[in-house]
Amino acid sequence: MSTPNGAPVDTAAPSHADTSITKEGFRISTRKLPILKAGPIDEMTKKLGIAPPEMIFGDNLARIEHAPTGWFIEFNAFDALDRVDKTGESMLKVSYSKEWQQNRQKQFEEIKEVVKPFDWSYSTDYKGTTSTNPAFQPTDTPIPLALLKRPDPIQFFDDVMLYEDELADNGIAMLSCKIRVMPARLLLLVRFFMRLDGVLFRIRDTRVFVEFATGEVIREYTAREEKYEVVRKKLAGTREDVLAIMRDPNPLQEYVPIVEKVLEKVVLK
């Protein structure tokens, strides 16, 4: 089995087709495959109306389904990208854009058309593709962190990349998914992380918590955002390795305040 140019389908990339585990009616599955080839990328470009990120794991997914009710929630790259602004209204500019534009205008007034404007930072507020029956309802019940901090055995774990873009060497944008399944519950974290050097940080987390015995599903969306300069100044006062932290959303969270939070719940019976 091979593709037209001779690349075998299974490459050296860490990949697997589908893996899954079933717990009390909940089936949790992931799929990890290499980045899309040119053909599927062209198709996706047409369907989306914007150029997909440089590294697009269009076949990958993480999915939780509840067989007794038919309910599901799934995370995939296409649906996430479909929520990226395609108009260019919320378009960011790289840090040296002003300087660049000024010089350009002097020399090339006639070149002023911005090609296919869209939010090239691929910022998405994607909270998953889910069934509306039953649908999530607003709630005050937080995800029970104490239960998740217990070292219960992890029976299923995966780490699935959905897309990544280097923003033409101006930073990074990535959407990735982690999932861990313990005997009584699971936690899934889909994180959008974006650093535009000299401009902005964004961390947008969607957490899905499932308590198997009660059929309780809690979804928490937390968006964080801060200007690059503000974060850099805060970090400069610490003894941390500034560059290393700027690459790692975990320690970085502390320096990037929450701008939006949504808490929802659904009970499956």
**CB-side neighbour CA atoms (13 Å) of 136:** 23
Q: How many residues does the chain have?
A: 269
DSSP category for residue 117: -
From residue 268, give the alpha-carbon distance in Å to each of 69, 106, 143, 214, 265. Answer: 7, 63, 16, 8, 10
| Tokens read off for 109 | 């007034």
Which of the 8 DSSP states describes residue 202? E
Q: Which stretch, 67-75, 93-101, 215-223, 224-232, contacts other proteins (CB under 8 A)?
A: 93-101
If one asks whether residue 97 binds other proteins (CB under 8 A), the answer comes out as: yes
Region near other proteins per CB under 8 A, out of 20-28, 124-132, 141-149, 211-219: 141-149
Query: Among residues 117 and 134, whose Cβ is nearest to other proteins?
Result: 117
Angstrom CA distances, 133 to 22, 64, 130, 216, 244, stand at: 21, 15, 9, 14, 43
Segment contacting other proteins (CB under 8 A): 61-69, 79-87, 110-118, 122-130? Answer: 110-118
Judged by CB under 8 A, which of 170, 194, 210, 245 binds other proteins? 170
Quick note: the x/- pattern for other proteins over 55-74, rule CB under 8 A, is x-------------------
What φ, ψ does residue 14 adopt, rounded to 5°? Answer: -65, 110
Say whether residue 113 binds other proteins (CB under 8 A).
Answer: yes
The residue with tokens 């929450």 is 258
Shortest Å, Cβ 70 to other proteins: 29
Task: Tell me: does residue 99 bind other proteins (CB under 8 A).
Answer: yes
- 126 contact partners, CB below 8 Å, separation of at least 6: 75, 79, 80, 83, 175, 190, 192, 206
Kindly tell me which of 3 and 70 has the beta carbon lying closer to other proteins: 3
Assign 142 to helix, strand or coil. coil
In one letter, which amino acid is 117?
A: P
Segment interacting with other proteins (CB under 8 A) among 61-69, 79-87, 153-161, 210-218: 153-161
> Structure tokens of 242?
């500034």
d(CA 177, CA 160): 5
| Residue of the chain from 21, 24, 25, 34 that contacts other proteins (CB under 8 A) | 34
State the minimum distance, in angstroms, from the CB of residue 74 to other proteins.
19
Asked if residue 149 binds other proteins (CB under 8 A), the reply is yes
Residues of the shown chain interacting with other proteins in the complex, contacts defined by CB under 8 A: 1-8, 11-15, 33-42, 54-55, 88, 91-94, 96-97, 99-101, 103-104, 107-108, 111-118, 120, 145, 148-149, 151, 154, 157-159, 161, 167-170, 178, 180, 187, 189, 197, 243
